[in-house]
Amino acid sequence: MKIVSWNINSVRLRIEQVGRFLQDQQPDALCLQELKCPDEFFPHEAFEALGYTHRHVHGMKSYNGVAILSRLPFVETTTKSFCDKDDRRHCMAKFENGVELHNFYIPAGGDEPDPAINVKFAHKLSFLQEMTQWWGEQRAAGDRKAVLVGDFNIAPSENDVWSHKQLLKVVSHTPVEVEALERFRKAGDFIDSVREVVPEPEKLFSWWSYRSKDWRESNRGRRLDHVWMTPNLSGTVTRASVYDGARDWDKPSDHAPVIAEFNF
């Protein structure tokens, strides 16, 4: 089963890029974040024509939004809200093989890494705390096979950023965020599927700022997009990569697709 996570930064604006990617890679399931599109305007016809006949869309106008597009049928779909906000940051689809695919878009957190003065950063930390509590409850309710993907907006390791030292006080790599994400990971004992295939200390990025005139030359990237799996799926990931060529396309998203292949 080939699963892709991609913060598309407006699905309608980049639907041609999505089509190009799907025709080239043919994943079984594509998880998109930051749709910036209400459900009634989602480009269903384009995905239908490409063979993605099973769609779980949870979008909103102008901001956020997540979707799971699949060639495989769903047996169950759900969404969950966090922090008492209906800001469309999670959706889940369960497949006939019993695997749950969770798609997350964790808040970016603004520019100042201080929750006392930055409500966006406070929201990010609260979101992570609620995720941790929620998954602890889910795990206690019974063993479940799950793959968690999405734009987590955190680069946890020093090998997930171009400069650990220079980004320690930059939102997405601060110790408080990294520690919060690690608490969530421990709540599910999750395994980083991509790092199973591309182990550290190899540098690996999935996001590059629009501010860089030549992003590939400067390569000041961060690995903000992740594919995790529950421990009962250990050993199933066979391939993983970042499709960074999409970052070279005309008017690209600042994120590149992350691909993981599993032998369930």
Q: Which of 86, 46, 94 is nearest to 66 (CA)?
A: 86
List all residues 6 or more positions away from 185 whose beta carbon is below 8 Å from its beta carbon. Answer: 192, 228
Give DSSP secondary structure letters for 6-58.
EE-S-TTTTHHHHHHHHHHH--SEEEEE---S-GGG--HHHHHHTT--EEEEE
Q: Which residue's entry shows tokens 């996570």? A: 5
What's the pLDDT at 135?
A: 95
Among residues 68, 62, 171, the alpha carbon closest in space to that of 121 is found at: 171
User: What confidence score (pLDDT) does residue 227 get?
Assistant: 98
64: containing domain: 2-262
pLDDT beneath 70, residues of the chain: none
**Alpha-carbon distance 245 to 174, whole Å?**
28
Task: Check residue 141 and give its pLDDT.
Answer: 82
Structure tokens that stand for 74 in this block: 């769903």
Tokens read off for 178:
């990294």
pLDDT of residue 260: 98
| CATH number of domain containing 248 | 3.60.10.10
Peptide bond into 201 cis (omega under 30): yes
CA of 57: how far to CAs of 1, 60, 96, 234, in Å?
20, 10, 19, 29
As for how many domains the chain has, the answer is: 1
Cα 148 to Cα 82, 101, 106, 174, distances in angstroms:
16, 6, 12, 22
Give the residue from 209, 232, 156, 185 showing the smallest Cα distance to 164.
156
Cα 203 vs. chain centroid, distance in angstroms?
A: 18
DSSP-derived secondary structure for 139-177:
HHT----EEEEEE-S---SGGGBS-HHHHTTSTTS-HHH
Pull the structure tokens for residue 108: 């970016």
Task: Return all residues near 131 (Cβ < 8 A) that are at least 6 apart.
Answer: 82, 104, 106, 184
